[in-house]
Structure 1
Amino acid sequence: MIPELIGLAGIALLLVLLTFGVPIGVSLALVGIGGLALLISPEAALIKSGVVSFETISKYELGVLPLFLLMAHICFAAGASRDFFDVAAKFVGHRRGGLALASIGGCAGFGAISGSSLATVATISSVALPEMRKAGYHPGFAAGALAAGGTLGSLIPPSGALIVFGIIAEQSIGKLFAAAIIPGLSQALFYMIAIAILCAVKPALGPSAQRVPWRDRLPALRKIIDILLLIVFVIGGLMVGWFTPTEAASVGVVAALLLWTLRGGFNRAAFGEALRATLRTTGMIYVVIIGAILFATFISVTGITDVLSGAVTDFHASPIVAIIVMALVLLLLGSFLDGLALMLLTTPIFLPIAVDLGFSPIWFGIFLVRTMEIGFVHPPLGLNVYVIQAMAKDIPLGTIFRGIIPFLVADFLHLGLIIAVPALTLWLPQVTGA
């Protein structure tokens, strides 16, 4: 049997399994082991699965994932999500669309703690959506801003998606975090510009609220200084080389526990729940990573990436055109795959091709996560949209998806900027030496 055809059949089978709701980790592992059994031997496939499983759960670098997750849960228990939105609302809430701007700021701030798009949109929406509706904001506009803002959690460090990419692509997590800072901040800026333009054209979308005096703004700002210092210390220390990623996450957990205690909200029950939530998520991600490595091994054995890379070379397409085609494929697959499934399916295939075309693996990781984020808001899947609709059942899905359209335009413009100007991603890792 031709290995390349087996590889294509394996990819098709994986898509079928995911479509029928088989968990992504299980799907990846089944296809990977089955493909290796066909190409090499059943005994070799079983031995490889055992070796990969043991190496994954014993890998020191992978400890960064549960530690950053625990830090996020502790900060959430300490009230960080409401504090970020409250501060932003007090500073810009009096402007047209000010609460929507505050939502983007809140999502960016909480994204720097949570590392998850779904966690960010669920947490900030629970605080911001009732406030925007009370202020008379158009429901679709409010929900669209929150759904788009929630995607910031996947890119702004410490990003869970970038950690997983760094592990399966064997790239420096510190460099990925440094590379994500400028794209993450500029992404938030693009959303804010979209909100400002929309509210200038149609003020009824986001009415201005009452101005909060400065004497009330500064006390609110003091409420998030401790969280901001925690973020700067952990991520900054990682970027300048004070800590390895695992050490940075460990320091972050200890500092978050200290912060929670100083805020006076620490209790054993909440801490136990934070530990349980961390273990549940970590266990799921470990299974996914093991499956992804097995699937990547299968794909590499088939030689399908060499065939595709050769096809791109023979076609004489420019690297930019090839990357745009990859982006279109990723957006198409993002219509029915969740972000993690999309990343783990495409990384073993597209990363070698991108490297052969001269692109940095670090840049590709940011490009992949940025493209993956768009899948969180564009139809028909749009997981962020369904999270918001579950919280506000009276807002129809169609209304939310229409509210997303201006932010999708901002997304495509921002993705185009990342493709056209790679230095936007690569400058900071070079300067900091992360």
Structure 2
Amino acid sequence: MTPEALGLLGVVLLLVLLAAGVRIAVALGVVGIGGLAVLISPEAALIKSGVVAFEVVSKYELGVLPLFLLMAHLAFSAGASRDFFDAAAKFVGHRPGGLALASIAGCAGFGAISGSSLATVATIGLVALPEMRRAGYSPALATGALAAGGTLGVLIPPSAALIVFGILAEQSIGRLFTAAIIPGLTQALFYMAVIYLLCKWRPALGPVSPRAGWRERFAAIRRLADVGLLVILVIGGIAVGWFSPTEAAAVGTVGALGIGLWRRRLDWATLKKAMRETLETSGMIYAIVIAAIVFSTFIAATGFGERVAGLIESLDAGPLGVILVLVVLLLVLGMFLDGLAMMTLTIPIFLPLVQEMGIDPIWFGILMVRTMEIGFVHPPVGMNVYVVHSLARDIPLMSVFKGIVPFLVADLAHVALLIAVPGLALFLPELLGA
């Protein structure tokens, strides 16, 4: 068997294992180590895997992950999710679809703390969904807005997906965070535009709520001020170069700890729970990163990635055509694979091709994560949809998927805009020299 054929066999075996429900890290590790054992020798494969594991856990940059996760857990304990939603609801709740608009704003705000799609949709959903149901919102619109809005947690920095991409692709996490700011904000605006147009067309979908007075609005802003300032300090500090991402994560964690104490929402039980959940999630992602790099080493050794790159280049479609082909492949894979699984599978195959075509890897990272987000809301995986459904079991699952459709259209339009205008992602890093 040729090395390229062995690489193809490895990819197929990985897909089979993932489809069978095997854990991502286990599937990547088994295929990567097994493939290297066939290529070089079992002893050399184990030695190489041990070296990779040591290098990964020794990376200074990877320290950003548990710190941002701890910051998110502490901020959630302090009530940040409700504060973001309440403040937005006070300002736009009196407009058609106002509570759905507030849900998107709340997801964007909390996404700037959590870095996770599932955490964002679960926490904002607990607050926003009961409010929208009491106000008589269409179940499809309410659940669709939350499921779509939750994906903002993947792109808006600090994003765990961007951290993983930066480690695997050996790109600056600071530049990736800065590049994601404008695409994240425009994505939220696209979702808001969908809600506005739907509720203008059919006002019964999102009835207006009573207008809040300025005293209530200022009170909501005051409750949000400490967390809001912390978000601005952390993300702004990375963008303008005050902090490295790891330093910013440390500042954010200390700030979130201080906010929890100031609000008297933090006790030993809450702190222990936050640290335990942080360690569990960090360990899972570390294992995935280590296994993904072992798998990438195997794929690189077989030359399979180069063969795939050659096949795509033979289409003679130019950089734009290549990007369109890759986006279609990512969307198809997103129908069956978890986002991290898709990323760890495709980066070692797609990234060399992208760099050879002269495409900026920072921009491609934003495009990949943006495309990956769509997998969180479209069937059959659609994890955000199932999370929202778990919050309201009486709403049929098909109603939730029906509510997602207009937001999927907005997603595709936004991805097209990102491809047509790369400056959407590259403007801020170039302007700030990040």
Give the TM-score range, shorter chain.
over 0.9
Secondary structure of residue in 2 paired with 1:265: coil
Q: Provide, for residues 247-283 of structure 1, a one-character-per-residue CA deviation record: whole Å limited to 9, x for no partner.
A: 1111111111112111222211101110001001011
Q: Provide, for residues 345-389 of structure 1, a one-character-per-residue CA deviation record: whole Å limited to 9, x for no partner.
A: 111111111111221110011000000000000111100000011
Query: How many residues end up aligned between the 2 structures?
Result: 434
Secondary structure of residue in 2 paired with 1:233: helix
Aligned 8 A contact 2:68 2:253 in 1? yes
Q: Which residue of 1 aligns with 2:44?
A: 44
Alignment of 1:347-362 (within 5 A): 347-362=347-362
Amino acid at match of 1:179: A
The alignment status of 1:336 with 2:336, answered yes or no, reads yes
The alignment status of 1:300 with 2:300, answered yes or no, reads yes
Q: Which residue of 1 aligns with 2:228?
A: 228
Q: Which residue of 1 aligns with 2:245?
A: 245
Counterpart CA distance in 2 for 1:60 and 1:314 is 40
Alignment of 1:106-255 (within 5 A): 106-255=106-255
Q: Which residue of 1 aligns with 2:268?
A: 268
Secondary structure of residue in 1 paired with 2:128: helix
Q: Provide, for residues 30-67 of structure 1, a one-character-per-residue CA deviation record: whole Å limited to 9, x for no partner.
A: 10001111111111111011111111122221111000
Aligned 8 A contact 2:166 2:176 in 1? yes
TM-score by length of 2: 0.99
Q: Provide, for residues 394-426 of structure 1, a one-character-per-residue CA deviation record: whole Å limited to 9, x for no partner.
A: 111111101100000000000000111111101
How far apart are 1:313 and its partner, in Å?
A: 2.6
Aligned 8 A contact 1:179 1:429 in 2? yes
Q: Which residue of 1 aligns with 2:78?
A: 78
Aligned 8 A contact 2:306 2:349 in 1? no
Aligned 8 A contact 1:309 1:356 in 2? no
Counterpart CA distance in 1 for 2:288 and 2:316 is 36
How far apart are 1:315 and its partner, in Å?
A: 2.1
Q: Which residue of 2 aligns with 1:345?
A: 345
Counterpart CA distance in 1 for 2:200 and 2:239 is 39
Amino acid at match of 1:352: P
Counterpart CA distance in 2 for 1:308 and 1:279 is 37
Counterpart CA distance in 1 for 2:367 and 2:192 is 21
Secondary structure of residue in 1 paired with 2:265: coil
Aligned 8 A contact 1:70 1:274 in 2? yes
Counterpart CA distance in 1 for 2:28 and 2:239 is 33
Q: Which residue of 2 aligns with 1:415?
A: 415
Counterpart CA distance in 2 for 1:274 and 1:346 is 32
Secondary structure of residue in 2 paired with 1:212: coil
> What is the identity percentage for the equivalent residue pairs of Structure 1 and Structure 2?
65
- RMSD after superposition: 0.8
Secondary structure of residue in 2 paired with 1:55: helix
Counterpart CA distance in 2 for 1:383 and 1:272 is 27
Q: Which residue of 2 aligns with 1:390?
A: 390
Counterpart CA distance in 2 for 1:15 and 1:246 is 33
Aligned 8 A contact 2:309 2:349 in 1? no
Amino acid at match of 1:117: S
Secondary structure of residue in 2 paired with 1:367: helix
4+ residue stretches of structure 1 with deviation over 4 A?
none
Q: Provide, for residues 65-95 of structure 1, a one-character-per-residue CA deviation record: whole Å limited to 9, x for no partner.
A: 0000000001000100000000001100010
Alignment of 1:288-327 (within 5 A): 288-327=288-327
